Amino acid sequence: MRGLNRVTLIGNLGNVPEFQALEGGVSVAKFSLATTETFKDKNGQNHSDTEWHTVVLWRSLADLAHQYLKKGSSVYVEGKLKTRNYDVKDGSKRYVTEIIADQIIILDKRTNADE
Amino acid sequence: MRGLNRVTLIGNLGNVPEFQALEGGVSVAKFSLATTETFKDKNGQNHSDTEWHTVVLWRSLADLAHQYLKKGSSVYVEGKLKTRNYDVKDGSKRYVTEIIADQIIILDKRTNADE
Amino acid sequence: MRGLNRVTLIGNLGNVPEFQALEGGVSVAKFSLATTETFKDKNGQNHSDTEWHTVVLWRSLADLAHQYLKKGSSVYVEGKLKTRNYDVKDGSKRYVTEIIADQIIILDKRTNADE
Amino acid sequence: MRGLNRVTLIGNLGNVPEFQALEGGVSVAKFSLATTETFKDKNGQNHSDTEWHTVVLWRSLADLAHQYLKKGSSVYVEGKLKTRNYDVKDGSKRYVTEIIADQIIILDKRTNADE
DNA sequence: TTTT
DNA sequence: TTTT
pLDDT in tens, B36-59: 999 889 999 999 999 999 999 999
**DSSP strand pairing (A93-106 vs A46-58):** parallel
Confidence of residue D110 (pLDDT cuts 50, 70, 90): low
Does the nearest atom of strand F lie within 7 Å of C13's Cβ? yes
Q: Give which of B108, B72, B85, A46 is closest to D74, Cα–Cα.
A: B108
The SS3 assignment for D85 reads: strand
Q: Give the pLDDT confidence score for residue A6 in this predicted structure.
A: 98
Q: Give the pLDDT confidence score for residue D90 in this predicted structure.
A: 82
Report pTM: 0.94
Confidence of residue B110 (pLDDT cuts 50, 70, 90): low
State phi, psi for C78 to the nearest 5 degrees.
Answer: -125, 135
Residues 8 through 37 of chain C touching chain B, CB cutoff 8 Å:
none
Which residues in chain D touch residue B109, judged by CB atoms under 8 angstroms apart? 108-109
Cross-strand bridge partners of residue B9: A5, B77
**DSSP characters for chain C?**
---EEEEEEEEEESSPPEEEE-GGG-EEEEEEEEEEEEEE-TTS-EEEEEEEEEEEEEHHHHHHHHHH--TT-EEEEEEEEEEEEEE-TTS-EEEEEEEEEEEEEE--STT-TT-
Does the nearest atom of strand F lie within 7 Å of A110's Cβ? no
Confidence of residue C114 (pLDDT cuts 50, 70, 90): very low
Q: Give the pLDDT confidence score for residue C110 in this predicted structure.
A: 55
Q: Which nucleotide is nearest to C12 (CA to C1')?
A: F2
Confidence of residue B111 (pLDDT cuts 50, 70, 90): very low
Does the nearest atom of strand E lie within 7 Å of D74's Cβ? yes
Closest partner CB to A10 (pick from C38, C76, C114): C76
Q: Does D109 touch chain B (CB under 8 A)?
A: yes
Share of chain D above pLDDT 90, in %: 77
State phi, psi for B95 to the nearest 5 degrees.
Answer: -120, 145
Q: For residue D115, is pLDDT > 60?
A: no
Given a contact cutoff of 8 angstroms between Cβ atoms, the answer to whether A29 and A19 are in contact is yes
> Does 2.40.50.140 match the CATH number of domain B7-37+47-114?
yes
Question: Distance of alpha carbon A26 from its chain centroid, rounded?
Answer: 19
Does the nearest atom of strand E lie within 7 Å of D30's Cβ? no
pLDDT, average across residues C107-113: 64
Domain limits, chain B:
7-37+47-114
Residues B88-101 have pLDDT tens digits of 888 888 999 999 99
Residues 41 through 100 of chain D touching chain A, CB cutoff 8 Å:
76
pLDDT, average across residues D91-106: 94
Does the nearest atom of strand E lie within 7 Å of D48's Cβ? yes
Nearest-angstrom CA–CA distance, D52 and B98: 34
Residues A25-74 have pLDDT tens digits of 999 999 999 999 998 899 999 999 999 999 999 999 999 999 999 999 99
Closest partner CB to A105 (pick from C10, C108, C109): C10
Q: For residue D13, is pLDDT > 80?
A: yes
Residues B23-41 have pLDDT tens digits of 999 999 999 999 999 988 9
User: Could you report how far apart the first and last alpha carbons of chain B are, in Å?
Assistant: 36
Nearest-angstrom CA–CA distance, C19 and C17: 6
Residues C41-98 have pLDDT tens digits of 888 899 999 999 999 999 999 999 999 999 999 999 999 999 999 888 888 889 999 9
Q: For residue B114, is pLDDT > 70?
A: no
* Whole-number distance in Å between D107 CA and E3 C1': 12
Q: Give which of B12, B26, B25, B17 is closest to B65, Cα–Cα.
A: B17
Q: Mean pLDDT for chain D?
A: 92
Q: Give the pLDDT confidence score for residue A21 in this predicted structure.
A: 96
Closest partner CB to B97 (pick from A3, A8, A97): A97
